[in-house]
Structure 1
Amino acid sequence: MTTGDNRLTYSPLPLRHQVINRWLLSGIFTRNVRFEPMTMEGDVNDWLIKGFSIHENPCRKEFVDQRRASVPELPFAAPPAPGDSVSLWGSEARWDLYFPWGNPRVEESGFYYVPTHMLRYGYTVIVSPTAHQAVFNLKTCGGVALWVNGRLVCDFTPFTRNIEQQTQVEVELQAGENTFVVCHEDLAERDTLYHFTLEYTGTESLEIRIPLTDSETAEAVLRMEEALGRAYFPKDNATDEEIRIVFEQPFSEKISFDVNYVSFFDGKYSMRRELEPGQQYLVLGHTDDFGIDYKYFELVTRIGQAAIRKPFGIELYNSRFQPRNSREMTVAERKRVALECVAELGIPNIHTAIAKLKTGGSPEQSREMILKGLVGIRERRDCADFYLIALFRFWRDYRDSGLFDEDFWAQIKDTILGFRYWIDEPGDDVMWFFSENHALLFHSCQLLAGQLFPDDVFVNSGETGVQRREKAERQLLEWFDRFFAEGLAEWNSNAYIPIDFLGLIQLHDLAELPALREKAKQAMDLLYFYMAAEAHEGYLTSTFGRSYEKELLGNHAAGTTSLIWVGYGVGNVNSTAFNVSVYLSDYEPPREYAGLTELKPEEELEFRLEQGKDGYAKLIHYRTRSFVLSSISDFRPGMKGYQEHVLHLALSPEAQVWVNHPGEIYPHGSGRPCFWAGNGCLPKVGQYKGLGVLLFDIDPAHDADYTHAYFPTHAFTRVEQRGSWFFGEREGAYAAVYAANGLELTQTGVNRGRELKSKGRRNIWLVRASDRQEYDTFEQFIDSVLNMPVDVSTDDLRVRLTDGTYGETSLSWQEPLVVNGETVSVKDCGVKGRLMRKERVASYK
């Protein structure tokens, strides 16, 4: 990259072609849109097998038809500059520089709770050394109109929700500067991939030039971009300490940052911070100032009119609510502590409002939280069912308390009567019905609403409360039949087990049909059995059917962590607000499962089970007192992935290892899959006890031509690299990671010291876990692994090795995992699984 004429000059990002990903962007204009209310249909779990795109909201067709009927116009005449304003739909935005941070796409993906028309403009200048006919690949999620030198050359409108489409565009490039303008738009429906990519397929050496205003210095912008690109948090978790971002080199002058921070279910907050001259640490605050949560901090600094933005993610935890004698406390005592933790630290919402009331908080403060929550339910924002479900307990406990006026209660009643409770009712919203957790909550809300207002008419369906209740009882009984037959379609998910509890606990406490109360208890008992059998030290570090970065990197803040702690006193308490109803219930998990949460040093526990439709998820969990290794066997190898997390090793909540093919090649993105959560292309996985094997065959069209492992060196006591092996030790537990194509530890940026990268689309990874029960010392473990005969071939994707403890092991793309001549398989285990707890076989002791 160079500078000149007060313009930023870049070479196109080399990928398969030259990617034009440096632009001035207008910011996103949005407007909520309404459509003809329609009904939908479909199986609630099929999308996990066939892909989420099998369910398309009717509103999308209406939007696309309207957009294709129009021809876009060039949105402005004069070239824009940073800080200039642009207007649309009665609102105004400013032009800003786009910094991709390694992303080949021009991306602003995000989450939108209601149907939202999004539109943004982009402007860039491409310098060509010669005049020639240039061919570009245009890829997009959304529709893109492209003007070059003032002429519309393309209006590409595929509008396939969250599925990238591609076309080729021929452009007459003149020698010298060429102006490119795009209009990029889409209909946002909850999780929304919103990006475009422009790839030059020719051989000329192009340049990208971004104009700046006179008040900016191109050199200063480039220096700041470089500094932010290399900045990092020292760890992925901050506990009872200052929160610091580290800059590799100090600045010679004071730098001011606007800091925006946000969590998954909360709004955006802002603060201002200063970095003094010569100081390498930007202090964002103390963990005492925040809840227990995974947060994204966006640093924004300005040079003239140019704003430079960079996101950073970290889990924040403070232990002031954590008792020292958790195991000795009763379940009721732990529930009280957890309730107080949510009341003080929870994200402001309806659940937190109830926690505040139950712990003596201000009724007026809770009233405001609930009224704000009602807005989202009335607008039928996605996930509205997560909050509506809490109102029925609130009505029961506080309707006659005298704390709130009649207008307040009338607003709650109107909200309940006006809601859309299922896909067979008309609607123009984008609420997601197609998953087991949402189905459970919608049916539970309908049941409890019908019970509460039996004689009232629900305006969206025209049915009475009695009719709603009868319908919901049928739906719920069918839901339970499927649940007990199939288990969790989104197996083990840290994100969604708490949401399942959110519905089940209301049925257990409030359903008038005895069969539903009993089935809800059985379901919660089964979920606690899973968690007790699979969690390590009280943290559900496991393979997941749905995963997010916030849970993978944030074990202390996960909803399951607090559920396990309340039930059995292991792990830690946190401020997850969705668990409030569990804390208020008299339900207690089975005491006999408490013994599963702790193993003796000489014990091992192996748990095999099948989950999902037709048992498609075949799971293996292997635990010792020191570590847990968990995986899903042979799950759709080579196919496009989503949020499936296929193998996980944990020595502690922080010292954990997993391998994936990144769904997007830059950290902290919004994709599903993203950088750490899920897989762009799924591997073939085999596991035998503490040994995991992964075979990758990556689609040639995918951006990421590598695979990587999360390996946080800061969380291990000792770390060693020996050739293609990486080793870590923590408190007598050992981890080893191998990649056939070699390993390189990332040394800069947000993944500094925590990413092991291995190049190549075809690769073989090994993960081996052990501890002092097997090897007296870390050195013995390293020597044994390095002396282990390993024969790998990335050409035909096969591996054969002889492990010092487990013996001869082989896996190939065509054949299953075989250990000492026996095929390792998960079959005939069912949703309750097969649990084996026994003495470990002596090895190198």
Structure 2
Amino acid sequence: MENRLNEEGFIMQYLISGLREEPFIDHTADENQLRYEKYLRSILTRPQTKEPQDRVKLNETGSLGLPWRYYYNYGNWFVDLSTFYSVLTRVEMDACTQLEAEEDMQVRAVVWSYASVDLWCNGEHVCAMAPPVYKPIQKQNVMFNLKKGINRLYIRLQTLGVRDTRTLFGIQVINHKDEIRVVLPDEEHTNCVLNCAKWLDQLIIQDGKLFCHTPAPKGTTLGYDSMSPDFAKAETKVERHDIGGATEAVLEAGRPYIVVECTAEGQKLARRMEDTAMIVPSFLKVMDYEKNKEAIYHRISDVESLSRGGKFGFSISNILARKATGRITAKDRELFLETLSQIEKRFDCSDFLVCGLVRYLKNYELDDELKNRVKEVLLNYRYWMDQEGSDAMCFWSENHSLMFYVSAMNAGEFYPEEYFTRAHMTGRQLWEAGKKRVEQWLDDVEERGFEEFLSTVYMCVTFAGLLNVIDYTPKEISDRAVKVTDRLLEMLALHTYKGSVIAPMGRVYRQVIYPFLQGAQALMNLIDPDVPYSYGEGWLAFYATSRYEIPEGLKKLMRDPVLTEYNTGNAVIRLEKNEAYCITSVQSPRKDTDYDRWVNLTLLEERQNVDKTSHAYTKSLNERFHGTTCFIPN
């Protein structure tokens, strides 16, 4: 079968074995989590002294103890198995392909990856890229000494699984591209799989139909993904129908998320597609503010737990919504205990769970068994990166930092005389440390504006964190948090155009291409029931027990024409909206002459003392990691 390199010289066909995943534990302490994770990557890679001597055959077990399979991901130039890890994980993958050369030749190539990569060509070790990195992507120039005929490339990838982990690699051939073709190992069996892949490649959606270039292979299914946020439905959210032998299929109205799956040689290949014409805003029937608010809480309570990448669920917001609406279920105690276990294991984003747990404790009674378990978990939690523990938690982003700060205050308040084992503080001391940082967080946002400005993902999280500050801190802090929350909602309302948030964002995700589906639509729909709604990850469950009141005038702000310019973080935001159009832009870094650019403390700490307990240090880490505050094109 003819398999040439793609237009840029990338190899597009591989067999892979993996991912092999196992816990990665190291107890080295560091108050700088970014530096700590860099250190972990430096010690993770196991040196590769020789090429694994695998017989690479489809479905047979490789040296990692996992079967070889064909990698299919429509049109991707990279072998990309990127995923999210909530705890520190060692990740390994093997890959193998073959290049058939028309004659003996020296081929220049580039290996691209974020991971550690070892590459052998005909047994010669031609690439040892280490250590892994978070970003930017690494590249290494290599030379392949190809002989006429078949040449084997064997790749071993190693990386640290920590939060959003880019487990991928690509090999780009620079010269002799037209004289090389790809021949997979075990060609007798993989040719059938390649035929299946090429059939998937040729699928198109047009005019409400799925068109196939040739009849669908036997056993092919057309599935509709409900995109349910509920982890309880993760295994059943795709409804499949057999289309074997068909050359076209009429797509069901209102079901735009499609997955086509076919099987060859025991390998299941899947292509996900979207019928964009069917992705439209969701509106509730017209109702008043209070009834709409009740409907929001019911929607959140209907979800058992929020799916975290289909691996597990976070349920605290859903439990809160069920308590607020009197719809508690028999399973909620089990889910509550699971939440405590996730906090105890310090899953990334467990600060979200702690904030929800605090809200639960402030509003509802627990029996003695649960009280004791909660106390055990909260006394042993790691409330900041300078406290004892090795984990994958993100502390430094605008939303995470606030949640950690206020959770430290609240946990310290619950147990003022108790000893917090990782913090090495009493509850009273922990409360004071959290209070200092909450106040500094507010100082920063009041003076410079939001860093994750207008983010339709993270403003919802920040909103929930601010509600805990409003409801569960002293009045002088609470009053400041009210004003900051007002500003958050005013900015989103200002950028709402025809019911959806249209804005430049300090942090952004793919969902922004469908503005009416963004998480912040939950906030907009709370303000105005007439605009499209979204689930918004259930953060509005916090609002059900909050004293915070939505400011007057936001609905008018959402609808009125505006021509304005304002500063936030390190950016200048410009906006013009009227009945005919909405135009908005971001300028970063700011160029105004009177702007006092804040100093990134992490750039100074190697040569002078800096206050690593300050929010200014946290914000500096955030800029180093996310880059949200200073966009400078390379």
Number of the residue aligned with 1:64: 42
Q: Does 1:128 align with 2:101?
A: yes
- CA shift in 2, pair 1:311/1:253, >3 Å: closer
From 586, 590, 594, give the equivalent of 2:555.
594
Deviations 1:250-295 (A, max 9, x none): 73665334969677895853556233343633768976xxxxxxx9
**Cα displacement (A) at 1:339:** 0.4
Maintained 8 Å contact 1:321/1:337: no
From 59, 64, 68, give the equivalent of 1:83.
59
Alignment of 1:724-743 (within 5 A): none
- What is the distance in 2 between the residues matched to 1:384 and 1:516? 24
Q: Does 1:611 align with 2:568?
A: yes
Report the AA paired with residue 292 of structure 2: R
Maintained 8 Å contact 2:286/2:530: no
Report the AA paired with residue 12 of structure 1: L
SS state of the match for residue 184, structure 2?
strand
Number of the residue aligned with 1:362: 328
Alignment of 1:537-686 (within 5 A): 537-550=498-511, 552-576=512-536, 577-599=538-560, 604-612=561-569, 616-633=570-587
Number of the residue aligned with 2:597: none
Number of the residue aligned with 2:365: 399
Number of the residue aligned with 2:604: none
From 302, 314, 317, give the equivalent of 2:263.
302
Q: Does 1:30 align with 2:3?
A: no
**Cα displacement (A) at 1:66:** 5.2
Number of the residue aligned with 2:404: 442
Q: Does 1:256 align with 2:220?
A: yes
Q: Does 1:474 align with 2:428?
A: no
**Cα displacement (A) at 1:395:** 1.4
Q: Does 1:210 align with 2:179?
A: no
- CA shift in 2, pair 1:324/1:516, >3 Å: same
Number of the residue aligned with 1:343: 301
SS state of the match for residue 619, structure 1?
strand
Number of the residue aligned with 2:353: 387
- CA shift in 2, pair 1:472/1:139, >3 Å: same
Alignment of 1:701-720 (within 5 A): none
- CA shift in 2, pair 1:319/1:520, >3 Å: same
Report the AA paired with residue 323 of structure 1: K
- CA shift in 2, pair 1:135/1:87, >3 Å: closer
From 250, 270, 281, give the equivalent of 2:249.
281
**Cα displacement (A) at 1:506:** 1.2
- What is the distance in 1 between the residues matched to 2:230 and 2:421? 29
Q: Which stretch shifts more, 96-105 or 314-323?
A: 314-323
- CA shift in 2, pair 1:252/1:142, >3 Å: closer
**Cα displacement (A) at 1:193:** 1.7
- CA shift in 2, pair 1:154/1:560, >3 Å: closer
Maintained 8 Å contact 1:418/1:459: yes
- CA shift in 2, pair 1:523/1:104, >3 Å: same
SS state of the match for residue 497, structure 2?
coil
- What is the distance in 1 between the residues matched to 2:235 and 2:501? 30
- Of structures 1 and 2, the one scoring higher in RCO (CA 8 A, sep 6+) is 2
Report the AA paired with residue 56 of structure 1: L
Q: Does 1:417 align with 2:379?
A: yes
- CA shift in 2, pair 1:273/1:284, >3 Å: farther
Q: Sequence identity, in percent?
A: 21
- CA shift in 2, pair 1:282/1:39, >3 Å: farther
**Cα displacement (A) at 1:75:** 2.6
SS state of the match for residue 95, structure 2?
strand
Alignment of 1:748-763 (within 5 A): none
Number of the residue aligned with 1:372: 338
- CA shift in 2, pair 1:189/1:501, >3 Å: same
Report the AA paired with residue 188 of structure 1: G
Structure 1: runs of 5 or more not aligned: 4-8, 42-54, 236-243, 288-294, 638-671, 684-698, 700-845
Maintained 8 Å contact 2:196/2:263: no
Q: Which stretch shifts more, 344-353 or 560-569?
A: 344-353
Structure 2: runs of 5 or more not aligned: 307-314, 592-624
Maintained 8 Å contact 2:80/2:167: yes
SS state of the match for residue 493, structure 1?
coil
Number of the residue aligned with 1:518: 479
- CA shift in 2, pair 1:319/1:169, >3 Å: closer
SS state of the match for residue 10, structure 1?
coil
- What is the distance in 1 between the residues matched to 2:380 and 2:257? 35
Query: RMSD across aligned C-alpha pairs, in angstroms?
Result: 3.2
**Cα displacement (A) at 1:598:** 2.1
- CA shift in 2, pair 1:258/1:166, >3 Å: same
SS state of the match for residue 494, structure 1?
coil
From 148, 155, 158, give the equivalent of 1:185.
158
Maintained 8 Å contact 1:357/1:366: no
Maintained 8 Å contact 1:39/1:427: no
SS state of the match for residue 171, structure 2?
strand
Q: Does 1:529 align with 2:490?
A: yes
- What is the distance in 1 between the residues matched to 2:116 and 2:567? 41
SS state of the match for residue 559, structure 1?
coil
SS state of the match for residue 467, structure 2?
helix
Report the AA paired with residue 100 of structure 2: V
Number of the residue aligned with 2:51: 74
Report the AA paired with residue 67 of structure 1: T
**Cα displacement (A) at 1:119:** 0.5
From 185, 197, 204, give the equivalent of 1:225.
197
The TM-score, its normalising length taken from structure 2, stands at: 0.84
- CA shift in 2, pair 1:363/1:59, >3 Å: same
- The size of the alignment, in residue pairs, is 583
Maintained 8 Å contact 2:45/2:131: no
Q: Does 1:13 align with 2:6?
A: yes
Report the AA paired with residue 414 of structure 1: E
**Cα displacement (A) at 1:172:** 2.3
**Cα displacement (A) at 1:636:** 8.9
- What is the distance in 1 between the residues matched to 2:467 and 2:27? 35
Higher helix proportion (structure 1 or 2): 2
**Cα displacement (A) at 1:682:** 7.5
Q: Which stretch shifts more, 569-578 or 376-385?
A: 569-578
**Cα displacement (A) at 1:144:** 1.1
SS state of the match for residue 54, structure 2?
coil
SS state of the match for residue 565, structure 1?
helix
SS state of the match for residue 479, structure 1?
helix
- CA shift in 2, pair 1:11/1:249, >3 Å: closer
SS state of the match for residue 362, structure 2?
helix
Report the AA paired with residue 530 of structure 1: M
SS state of the match for residue 76, structure 1?
coil
SS state of the match for residue 13, structure 1?
coil
- CA shift in 2, pair 1:462/1:217, >3 Å: closer
Deviations 1:204-245 (A, max 9, x none): 61110114575x583x5445333423445669xxxxxxxx87
SS state of the match for residue 430, structure 1?
coil
**Cα displacement (A) at 1:300:** 3.5
- CA shift in 2, pair 1:566/1:260, >3 Å: closer
Q: Does 1:452 align with 2:423?
A: no
**Cα displacement (A) at 1:40:** 2.3
